[in-house]
Amino acid sequence: MNWKLWCLFGILFPALLGMGAWQLQRADEKKMALERFHDQIDQPPRDWMSFLNSPIDFAQVRLEGGFLDQDWLLDNQIEGGRFGYRVFTPFCLNTATHAPQDSKECVLVDRGWVAGNLDRNILPAIDRPEGNLILQGRADHISSSVILGESEPLVNSPYRVQQIEIGEVSEMAGVPLSSWILRLLPGQRGVYKQNWQPVVVGPEKHIGYAVQWFAMAIVLAGLVAWLQFKPEKAVMDS
């Protein structure tokens, strides 16, 4: 028995099966996320404070208040083959206008996508509506993004970052931010191109990836079996 071959098989085969199982799990997660999103499509908007009492992913919510005077640009966002940024701006509710600074009810708003300049020294000019605003959007959580560059010093707004961190934005804004964010709906004041989707990679792709991993596991098992028993067969034939 070729023990090196079986040791390699013992490492690779479970790993391939594990990757396939993980992709099936991701497919289930994406399927459930899409189901939650579609359940909320036709629901009327809820007041933000009532939403916080019974939060639901992707619920449509309504806020009244104003934007703070800083913007955040999430780097390396591609739309239609074009490089750009997603714009995030903190928004504080009117119900807390006269409250202490550290007790304001504020939320980070995803305002959509803007095109970038190939010259990295030139940032897009971000317009921000002032005064009292009524906004509608969908409640969501910040998702992780692929970090392709180094973090930059946070000097002047708009701040260009590789990853949106609620704690970091809260510290720079000087107000506590909800763990939820608001994905601004098209047609709202201050919105840019809103291309957000509840899932980027659909469940069917994850199922396809799972099939590939399981297929590689089967091929590996067949190859190891063939290599292990081929010499025996050769002796028998002779």
List pLDDT tens digits, range 162-211: 999 999 999 999 999 999 999 999 999 999 998 887 766 677 888 888 89
Give the predicted TM-score (pTM) of the model: 0.74
| 72 and 136 housed in the same domain | yes
Q: What is the 3-state secondary structure (H, E, C) of the chain?
A: CCHHHHHHHHHHHHHHHHHHHHHHHHHHHHHHHHHHHHHHCCCCCEEHHHHHHCCCCCCEEEEEEEECCCCEEEEEEEECCEEEEEEEEEEEEHHHCCCCHHHCCEEEEEEEEEECCCCCCCCCCCCCCCCCEEEEEEEECCCCCCCCCCCCCCCCCCEEECCCCHHHHHHHHCCCEEEEEEEECCCCCCCCECCCCCCCCCHHHHHHHHHHHHHHHHHHHHHHHHHHHHHHHHHHHC
| 180 and 207 housed in the same domain | no
| 115 and 211 housed in the same domain | no
Is the pLDDT reported for residue 133 higher than 90? yes
User: Is 43 inside any structural domain?
Assistant: no
| 83 and 148 housed in the same domain | yes
| 66 and 176 housed in the same domain | yes
108: containing domain: 59-184
| 169 and 68 housed in the same domain | yes
Total structural domains within the chain? 2
| 21 and 127 housed in the same domain | no
* pLDDT the model gives residue 233: 47
| 161 and 212 housed in the same domain | no
